[in-house]
Chain A
Amino acid sequence: MTTSLLRRPGLALSVLVVALVVLAACLPGLLAPADPLRGVPEQRFQPPSASHWFGTDELGRDLYARVVHGAALSLKATLVAVAVAFVAGGAIGGVAGFAGGRIDGVLMRAVDVLLSIPALFLSLALVTALGRGTLNVAVAVGAASVAAFSRVMRAEVLRVRQAAYVDAARVCGVRWGGVLFRHVLPNARGPVIALATLDLGTAVLAVASLGFLGYGAPPPAPEWGTLISGGRDYLANAWWLSTLPGLVVVATVLSLNRIARALDGERLHR
């Protein structure tokens, strides 16, 4: 594992970035000792420097500290979103794929309807109903990708279920449960995990988008989308305010996607 990582520097870097983000979310003080909420009025709009890596904002708060501390909120929202999509979508897709027939028909028609509404609009409708806040945004984002998730899950179950080796196992006299746990689920696991990783990246983007529109955590709390949005009014004189948090989001999503591709690729190579 480690040697194969070294041979793929892009993947190694991606793992490192994700590890840093997780560290920032769990122990923000370790990476950024400065207080993300306390501003020093004399130090407003400082460009990036050795003392303020990402510069300071309109209240003189250290932007780097705000980005690091924001990781916790953003990561929490992302994980909740993917968990919602994973559990609900996996259940719907799995049941549809296994049961087949009429149950499959009804569930998939429902999924089609959800897919006909753009994800962001579905999320916005849910935010309207649930209200603002990080957790609500997370649920809204997760619910919006339930449909896509159940589609993939169902396709995966069907692919494995129709594989010749599943027929062969039945002919060998393997019981229904044995076929499910020994052949179907282990072979469907890889792609689903890869998809979940890919969905993490999508969820980071969606959560940031809703934060940018102003539905995330209420201000002073630093959240990545909110931070980017906050720099919007100072684009002309403080370029770093929107640019740097945005770059952090880009790096995180790129890394998650790179890891997802590696997970998917390993399945294909086997």
Chain B
Amino acid sequence: MTDFIWLVVALPAAGAVYLHFFGKRAGEPASGWIASVLMSGAFVYALLAAVPFFQGTGHAESVVLWSWMPAIGAEFAIRWDPLSSLMTLVVTGVGTLIHFYAIGYMHGDPRFSRFFTYMNLFATGMLTLVLADNFAMLFLGWEAVGLCSYLLISFWYTKPSAAAAGKKAFIVNRIGDFGFMIALMIILTQFGTLSFDVLEDPHLGLSTGLATAVGLLMLVGAAGKSAQIPLYVWLPDAMEGPTPVSALIHAATMVTAGVYLVARNAAIYEMAPIAATTVATVGALTALWAATIAIAQKDIKAVLAYSTVSQLGYMFIGVGSTAYVAGMFHFMTHAFFKALLFLGAGSVIHAMSDEQNMDKMGGLAKHMPVTAATMGIATLAIAGVPPLAGFWSKDEILGAAFNQGGWMVVLWAIGLVTAGITAFYMTRQFVMVFLGKPRWDEGIHPHESPRTMTVPLMMLAGLTILGGFINTPFRTGLERYLEPSFETVDGAIHMAHPADGSTAWILAGVAVLAGLIGIYLAYRLYAGPEDRRRRVLGRFARPIFAWENAYWVDRFYGKTIVLPGKSVANWAAFKFDLGFIDGIVNGVAGAVKRLGATIRPLQTGFVRNYGVMLAAGSVGLLIWFLSRGGL
């Protein structure tokens, strides 16, 4: 099976190429079906190829497709091991559902087939990223998904805000890529190769200091791609893209590339505990930071965007506290319920004729029962209500962090508070959208979405309910599945595990309690009488004002980074370039012109004059030769 594993990448790639050239002819909805079927083909193949891992008989394999840059250990090769297979399964599986959903969502868009071209291209890039067998190929996929993210965020490029959001995402990601690239260069200079083989035994090439540097630089790259402090600012803006894009790229797959990167480089982070702790700390701060902002957002997608940032922070706590399995587990469950939330939000937006302000919704549960039910499940899942998927993974992360002791207990506390806040703002969203009285604008007639949209919702809801059971404290299936990926030459990489016994029960109970308190408060506040809500919110007016404006981070970045950058660019363009560079160019041209004008009379046009000059030159040469010969 693994011999043809390249098919997983090749199928979406073929779709992208085909739709690029013939998408217009295929038209709607055929091009959407082509893209979706190819994605599901990739999923099915990946599933079959992963069977040995399920049975516990598989082992990591490298499939070399062709020789690319052998000098630096960068073959065009696919690595098929439990970790990459898990990523592949989630990317293709959730991706397939979102593709099908998009057929309904993008209905009537003039650039329908182009949208699916980009979607397939993104899938190609993402699969290259996760299936890469060396850092060069990983970087290739890393940049490819960045490009597709840019293309898809600014898919409706006629909207200035969408175009700006695309650019912002691209530029902010560039900053992260810069750190990532330096990390790769350190690896290349230390090992002389970019192959993942170095991860088998990183002690051979890296001192502890260098390992810390590599780990921190990779964190910069991961923070850019996975929207962590301080580089998270692009993700909320990325909601300008079509909702399936938000679901696929900015919730389920691409943004988790940073988590995958940290997990893949577990061996390096094991050498550098400082870097690992930094990862976890950044994750915890981001989780709390973004969760508070989410409380006060009015845009239905903005809430989900900040929620994504926050949940990614959880994953960073997981991988940073060496609980790699917990991190990957949360990545997986999060892919399920966050994709579901985004697709549900898309369904709502669709029904409300592109209205995204939650103040103008309400009471939609009656009109959109399927959407309401599935989103309700997802809301409970992200709030950490057992036995839904979010509970198991979040609990495992928090348990592992607590079990580490020391500084990690602080991070556990932050995570616990965040869990409560998460439950609060998600319940707030659900109540504002689906319950209460309608606050719609005139002339809006909400309706349930078509089958292509609701079926993926229901399937994701199923995954949200059942997905958590693959790795419960009682039956650690995912851990056994992933374990082979975290083995080095020396033996297994140290992995944090949640506490067991009564501690585990207490921790789980506390986490569930936090979630339930959040749900209760939000429900009481937003489903309750209006005047009480106004009174309570008025008491918290100041923090809410800060949260509504996302702590003015964008304005801060604008003043401290963007503005100086712009003035430097202005100076370079209008002072340096126009004055100095152009001055040199024009000066050279002017000098040549003046010289030409000076010697122009030499060209008399009389052939005999030329003859005299020729003769004079010959005589000069004659004299020269003779004098060299000692005249």
The answer on A and B forming one complex is no
